[in-house]
Structures are given as structure tokens and as C-alpha cells.
């Protein structure tokens, strides 16, 4: 028999899902979640304002526009006949506004057991990796909505190929969706150059009778020609309202910031004096005071060697992981990397982790379907009850066995308790520590800029609000 007090606790609040699962099991957790939804709907008359289309419909429309129907094909369709439909200059295209590309799409988890199986974690929450995968595809859709090409208005297939160049600052709020919560994706182009554009994309969860924002991210998309062999001009963007102008300005600032950070990379410049002091302090903590020597290292209490936190995952992509131009889908790599980072965080943080932030990253090179993929990740820096985790994605060419790095992802996780302090053993580990420190400083600066708050020891609850 289930205790009535626990039912009331679950209905009136949102306790940690793991507590519910440990007390009752997953099936009872789902039953209680249904009860909570029923009680909430009776007490709150607000109805969800669902988008007119679902993500499944968006995917179907993209397949039609790209001329890539479902089903296995040994070779991608020839799209060279669409090349004459592309503009020769940007001036041939009409100017667009940010609202021209705005759209929404829903993922109705409450109505589809099949989707629940696809999106649910074992604890009954929604898989973040699945949402990142959907956001990437949704931004392709938004990009094509921005493009208005008079030459191709009568063509069933678009002459454009849209690729993801990078993602800037993926942020997460406290409203973490559960396996039966409906989801809404929305976004629009907020900045456009000649061939590239930045999209502001969000994921909302319908909880307690209203939509709450869960994810906000900025995707940098690039327009290529029909055969993906060169760039293609897109429409200029003209922001009209003060809010649109401010977002346009912020996108320009993010672009400049990415360029500055690239020039200040540890591969180009040495660590700063503060970073050198950090590295030296870490080293001194590992010196045996009873036998002080440079050749002997000891691990302090509540600490881990950085190398001991490493996890890897090697796999071969399959046709279901491809994009519309027969390369490995970037959203798939984002999902695989984020799920590996969570395993690392859980294993070495020694408590359940909560993803707060993903730093900006880029897709350095397209990945052919014939390549083998290797993901390598480790915890590189800890501060207070937060940890930085880096996951590096590499591909192996099956004919030459050349190894090429395609992505580097940086994740910020929060824990209820302070995780073990990370200690470097080698100079390479020290550089990784410094790089993790830099990314965490960027996270703290974002918090200060957005909320005017400062991270302090002993404050386990923190989320970004936007």
C-alpha cells in the first residue's frame, strides 16, 4: 500500500525523481506522475498553447524539401540540377525580419508511449541528449524558413544545404521535464551575414499548467550550395524592434568573443600568472610533506587524479545517424557526447549531477558515414559543488587510419555535495585543468551578467534564468 502522505508530497511538489523510483519503482513513479498531472489539470484551468506542428512533421517536411525520403540508399541523391536556382549575389534576395523565420514545434510525450520510450531516462526524466539532437534539426528548419529565394519558389526541393557550424552557450534552467511532460521547441534567426546565421532556440516544458523554459541555446548555421561544395548567399536580416536590435547586437558580440577566445587558446599563448599560480597550488597539494621531493606525489583526501576520471566510447555510425547530405548528423554527436559526460559526472562526482551549461563549440570538419568515432571524456576542474567535464570527439578514416578531432565539448555540472577535487599528474593534465578553469570562469561571468549573482560555497541550488 502506498502511503497517502507520499502521494500528497508528490502531487504538491517536485521531489527528486530518484527518491520516487527508490521508494516505489519506475512503474509506480509513472502512475504517480499521471496522478499529479490529473490533479494539476483540475486545479489549474490553463491549457497548453500547443504549436501547430510536431517535430515529426518538421522532420517529414525537411525530408521533402531536401529530396531525401526515408529508406536505405547506398549513395545520396544527386542534387547538382538545383545549382542554377541559387542566387549569384545577396542583393538578389529580399531582406527578411527575425519574425519571418520564427516557428514552434511540439513533442507530445504525454500522448505517445513510443516517444516516452525514446526520450525517458531510467529515472523518469527526459534525456537531454535527445533534446540537443532535436534542437539541431529544428535549427535547420528555422534556417530554411529564413531563406526566401525567388528563383526556387516553384521548386519542390530547396537548392540549399544547411550545416551546423557551432553552438554558443547552451543553458539550462530548473524546470527539468519528466517523461510525461509535453515539450515545445521554438526559435528564429536573430543574426545573418552573407552565408551564415545565428539562431536563438529554446525548449519549454509544460509543467503545472504552464510552459516553463528549460533550454536556451544559440546555433550558428551555414548555408551551402546544393552539392555541399561551396557557400550560398542567404537573405539579409533587418531587425525592426528594439528587442530584435539588441539580440542582433549581442550576436555580433558573441561572434567577436569567439574570435578572441580562439586567439587566446592555450595552443597559442601560455597560461596567465593567475593560471600558473592555480597549477602550482594544485601541485603543492600533492607533495608529501613528510618526504618533500619533486619526484613523489600523493593524492590528498577527497581528491582524484584527473587521469582516473577518463571514459571512452568507440562506435561505428549507421544510416539512421546520417543527416540530409549523407554525413554523420551533428546532433547525434552532441547526444552521444552529452550522455558520456553525464556518466563521467555521475561516476566521479559520487552523487547525481545536474547539467547547468555547455560552453560554445564548433564542428571542425564533416564526418563521413564510413568513419569510426571515438569519444574521450574526463573531469578536468572542480570548484565549490561544480565540475567541468570535457569530451573530445575524434574520427578514424577507415582507409588511411588518420585520426582527426571533430569536436570538443565542455560541460558544467552541479552537485548537491562538493565532488572530489581534481588533481593533474602531468603537464598535459595541467593544461587541461587550466582550460577547464577558463570555461568555468566563463560560466561564472555568464551568471553574474544574467542574474547579478555570485557563486558561493554552501549554496547547492543554482540555475540560470533567462
Judge whether residue 23 has pLDDT over 60: no
Q: Of 283-287, 288-292, 388-392, where does mean pLDDT reach its minimum? A: 288-292
Mean pLDDT of 354-365: 90
* pLDDT at position 453: 60
Mean pLDDT of 106-115: 95
The string of DSSP codes covering 298-316 is -PPTTEEEGGGG-EEEEE-
User: At the topology level of CATH, where does 264-451 sit?
Assistant: Thiol Ester Dehydrase; Chain A (3.10.129)
Judge whether residue 120 has pLDDT over 70: yes
* pLDDT at position 451: 58
Q: For the chain, how big is the Rg over CA atoms in Å?
A: 24
The residue ranges of every structural domain in the chain are 4-43, 55-254, 264-451
Q: Report whether 410 contacts 463 (CB < 8 A).
A: no
Q: Report whether 367 contacts 373 (CB < 8 A).
A: yes
* pLDDT at position 40: 40
Q: What is the pLDDT of residues 389-411, one digit of tens each?
A: 999 999 998 888 899 999 999 99
Instruction: Classify residue 183 as left (phi > 0), alpha (psi -120 to 50) or beta.
Output: beta
Mean pLDDT of 124-149: 96
Domains 55-254 and 264-451 share a fold: yes
Judge whether residue 25 has pLDDT over 70: no
CA distances from 222 to 140, 156, 225, 293, 365 (A): 9, 21, 10, 54, 13
Mean pLDDT of 105-111: 96
Decide: pTM greater than 0.75. yes
Judge whether residue 225 has pLDDT over 70: yes
Mean pLDDT of 105-112: 96
* pLDDT at position 12: 34
* pLDDT at position 138: 98
pLDDT category of residue 447 using cuts at 50, 70 and 90: confident
CA–CA separation, 41 and 12 (whole Å): 12
Mean pLDDT over the full length of the chain: 86
Q: Of 224-233, 337-346, 357-366, 446-455, where does mean pLDDT reach its minimum? A: 446-455
Mean pLDDT of 312-320: 92
pLDDT category of residue 454 using cuts at 50, 70 and 90: low
Q: What is the pLDDT of residues 242-262, one digit of tens each?
A: 999 999 999 999 999 888 888
Q: Of 106-115, 197-206, 364-373, 428-437, where does mean pLDDT reach its minimum? A: 364-373
Q: What is the pLDDT of residues 378-389, one digit of tens each?
A: 999 999 999 999
pLDDT above 90 covers a percentage of the chain that reads: 65
* pLDDT at position 11: 31
Judge whether residue 10 has pLDDT over 60: no
Q: Report whether 355 contacts 342 (CB < 8 A).
A: yes
Task: Give the CATH architecture of domain 55-254.
Answer: Roll (3.10)
* pLDDT at position 41: 39
CA–CA separation, 160 and 228 (whole Å): 8
Amino acid at each position: 500500500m502506498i502511503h497517502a502522505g507520499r502521494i500528497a508530497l508528490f502531487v504538491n511538489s517536485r521531489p527528486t525523481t530518484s527518491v520516487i523510483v527508490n521508494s516505489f519503482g519506475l512503474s509506480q513513479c509513472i502512475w504517480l506522475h499521471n496522478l499529479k498531472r490529473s490533479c494539476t489539470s483540475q486545479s489549474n484551468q490553463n491549457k497548453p498553447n500547443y504549436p501547430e506542428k510536431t517535430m515529426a512533421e518538421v522532420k517529414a517536411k525537411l525530408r521533402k524539401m531536401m529530396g531525401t525520403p526515408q529508406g536505405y540508399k547506398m549513395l545520396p541523391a544527386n542534387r547538382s540540377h538545383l545549382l542554377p536556382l541559387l542566387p549569384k549575389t545577396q542583393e538578389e534576395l529580399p531582406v527578411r525580419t527575425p519574425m519571418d523565420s520564427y516557428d514552434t514545434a511540439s513533442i507530445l510525450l504525454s500522448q505517445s508511449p513510443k516517444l516516452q520510450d525514446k526520450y525517458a531516462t531510467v529515472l523518469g526524466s527526459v534525456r537531454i541528449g535527445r533534446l540537443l539532437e532535436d534542437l539541431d534539426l529544428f535549427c535547420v528548419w528555422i534556417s530554411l524558413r529564413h531563406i526566401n529565394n525567388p528563383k526556387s519558389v516553384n521548386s519542390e526541393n530547396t537548392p540549399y544545404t544547411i550545416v551546423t557550424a557551432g553552438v554558443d552557450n547552451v543553458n539550462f534552467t530548473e524546470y527539468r521535464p519528466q517523461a510525461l511532460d509535453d515539450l515545445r521547441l521554438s526559435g528564429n534567426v536573430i543574426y545573418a551575414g552573407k552565408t551564415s546565421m545565428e539562431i536563438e532556440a529554446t525548449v519549454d516544458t509544460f509543467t503545472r499548467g504552464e510552459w516553463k523554459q528549460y533550454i536556451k541555446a544559440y546555433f550558428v548555421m551555414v548555408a551551402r550550395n546544393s552539392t555541399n561544395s561551396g557557400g550560398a548567399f542567404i537573405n539579409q536580416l533587418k531587425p525592426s524592434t528594439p528587442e530584435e536590435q539588441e539580440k542582433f547586437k549581442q550576436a555580433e558580440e558573441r561572434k567577436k568573443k569567439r574570435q578572441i577566445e580562439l586567439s587566446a587558446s592555450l595552443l597559442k599563448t601560455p597560461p596567465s600568472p593567475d593560471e600558473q599560480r592555480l597549477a602550482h597550488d594544485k601541485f603543492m597539494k600533492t607533495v608529501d610533506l613528510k618526504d618533500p621531493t619533486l619526484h613523489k606525489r600523493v593524492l590528498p583526501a577527497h581528491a582524484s587524479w584527473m587521469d582516473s576520471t577518463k571514459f571512452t566510447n568507440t562506435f561505428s555510425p549507421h544510416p539512421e545517424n546520417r543527416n540530409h547530405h549523407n554525413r554523420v548528423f551533428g546532433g547525434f554527436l552532441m547526444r552521444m557526447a552529452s550522455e558520456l559526460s553525464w556518466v563521467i559526472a555521475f561516476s566521479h562526482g559520487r552523487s547525481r549531477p545536474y547539467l547547468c551549461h555547455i560552453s560554445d563549440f564548433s564542428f571542425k570538419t564533416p564526418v563521413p558515414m564510413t568513419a569510426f568515432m571515438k569519444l574521450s571524456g574526463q573531469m578536468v576542474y572542480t570548484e565549490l559543488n561544480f565540475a567541468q567535464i570535457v569530451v573530445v570527439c575524434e574520427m578514424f578514416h577507415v582507409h588511411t587510419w588518420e585520426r582527426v578531432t571533430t569536436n570538443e565539448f565542455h560541460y558544467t555540472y552541479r552537485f548537491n555535495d562538493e565532488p572530489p577535487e581534481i588533481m593533474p599528474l602531468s603537464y598535459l593534465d595541467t593544461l587541461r585543468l587550466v582550460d577547464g578553469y577558463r570555461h568555468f570562469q566563463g560560466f561564472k561571468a555568464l551568471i553574474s551578467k544574467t542574474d547579478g549573482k555570485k557563486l558561493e560555497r554552501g549554496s547547492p541550488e543554482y540555475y540560470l534564468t533567462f
